[in-house]
Amino acid sequence: MRKHWGSGVIWLLLFTMPFWMLAVGGYTELAARIVVLGLAAMALNFLLGFTGVLSFGHAAYFGLGAYGVGMTIKYLFPSTAAGVVIGVAAGTLAGAIIGALIVKLRGVYFAMVTIAFGQVFYFIAFRWNSVTGGDDGLTGWGRQPINLGFTTLDIQGNDKAFYYFVLALFTISVAVMALLLRGPFGRTLLAIRENERRARFLGIPIELHIWLSFVISCFFASLAGALFALVNNFTDPRFLRWDQSGTFVIMAVMGGMRSFWGPLMGATVYVLLQDYLSSHTENWMSFVGLVFVLVVLFFPRGIVGTARTRTVAEP
């Protein structure tokens, strides 16, 4: 009951965020950024927290989703829906190919190779000035209204409409992830995370399941990237850089890797700290790093994981 109560509170806060965010000094775009980066952190955690495989290259798929939607709208046709589909397809396809190449690696070797592949995409975006805009980023495009047939969803000039568009995709994504993790596939991933050797002895095709987990994770990461580009109406090579991947890891660890909602909580704390501190000091990353160190030292299970453990321990 407590678990369902907690999920209910989270959904209530998400659905009302554009209203109470203004009351606490925030703004609607900040709410959209929290949801989008929360989805990116949860996508990484699908691989990290529930499969036990660390990737430091998920910014590659996040960035491919971002460039996919931006380049589609700018160069092909001005359609938000088509841009999101193409961006997600590009990120997922890249994840499927790269995942097949590295699926047999483990530990630090897997993490380092994901960084290497991610940096390849970063330097392509950085150097291909005529198409990607290079270091200046991809400009001259913006999200377009979505024609639903019976009505038009104005996500171009209505920030609240855009927020609920993002939240709708987030809801579908979270529902799919929860369905997968609660089923036999998710139980198999947990078995691999806890003891890969024993899972292999049971006859589980380890490499296939890790590859599928990697591709699913890349799918949702690329969707988050496409939505993040739409939030900003802009994308640049920093979306693809390895430190962006590190940010997703920080969010997941800060919130709680082995909890479903932990990465969303970590993303919320990170984005709010970034928004507040960056308006007061250029050294905001130092303070965020200090908070991260304190969380790791005193809340090793993350914010949500520690809270859940203490709640269970109560009589």
Q: Averaged over 268-283, what is the pLDDT?
A: 88
Q: Is the pLDDT of residue 163 over 90?
A: yes
Comparing 135-139, 174-178, 268-272, 306-310, the range with the smallest average pLDDT is: 306-310
Confidence of residue 151 (pLDDT cuts 50, 70, 90): confident
CA 297 – CA 65 distance, rounded (Å): 34
Report which of 82, 103, 80 is spatially closest to residue 217, judged by C-alpha positions.
103
Instruction: Give percent above pLDDT 70 in the chain.
Output: 96
Q: What is the pLDDT of residue 186?
A: 95
Q: What is the pLDDT of residue 3?
A: 58
Q: Is the pLDDT of residue 23 over 80?
A: no
Q: Is the pLDDT of residue 230 over 90?
A: yes
Q: Averaged over 183-205, what is the pLDDT?
A: 93
Q: What is the pLDDT of residue 97?
A: 96
Q: What is the pLDDT of residue 309?
A: 57
Q: What is the pLDDT of residue 251?
A: 94
Which tens digit of pLDDT belongs to each residue from 286-314? 888 888 888 888 887 888 877 665 543 33
Q: Averaged over 115-135, what is the pLDDT?
A: 92
Comparing 17-26, 125-134, 185-194, 273-282, the range with the smallest average pLDDT is: 17-26
DSSP 8-state assignment for residue 239:
G
Q: Averaged over 133-139, what is the pLDDT?
A: 91
Q: What is the pLDDT of residue 2?
A: 57
Q: What is the pLDDT of residue 312?
A: 35
Cβ proximity of 105 and 57 under 8 Å: no
- Helix axis angle for 262-278 and 302-313, nearest 10°, is 130
CA 25 – CA 199 distance, rounded (Å): 50
Mean pLDDT (the chain, rounded):
90
Q: What is the pLDDT of residue 143?
A: 93
Six token digits for residue 290: 């200090």
Q: What is the pLDDT of residue 22?
A: 80
Confidence of residue 68 (pLDDT cuts 50, 70, 90): very high
Domain boundaries, the chain: 26-242
Burial of 197 (0-12, 13-18, 19+ CB in 10 A): exposed
Q: Is the pLDDT of residue 103 over 70?
A: yes
Confidence of residue 315 (pLDDT cuts 50, 70, 90): very low
Which tens digit of pLDDT belongs to each residue from 244-261? 999 999 999 999 988 899
> pTM of this prediction?
0.93
Q: Averaged over 219-238, what is the pLDDT?
A: 95
Alpha helices for the chain (secondary structure H): 2-15, 17-23, 28-51, 59-71, 80-102, 107-127, 129-132, 159-182, 184-194, 196-201, 206-232, 242-255, 262-278, 284-298, 302-313
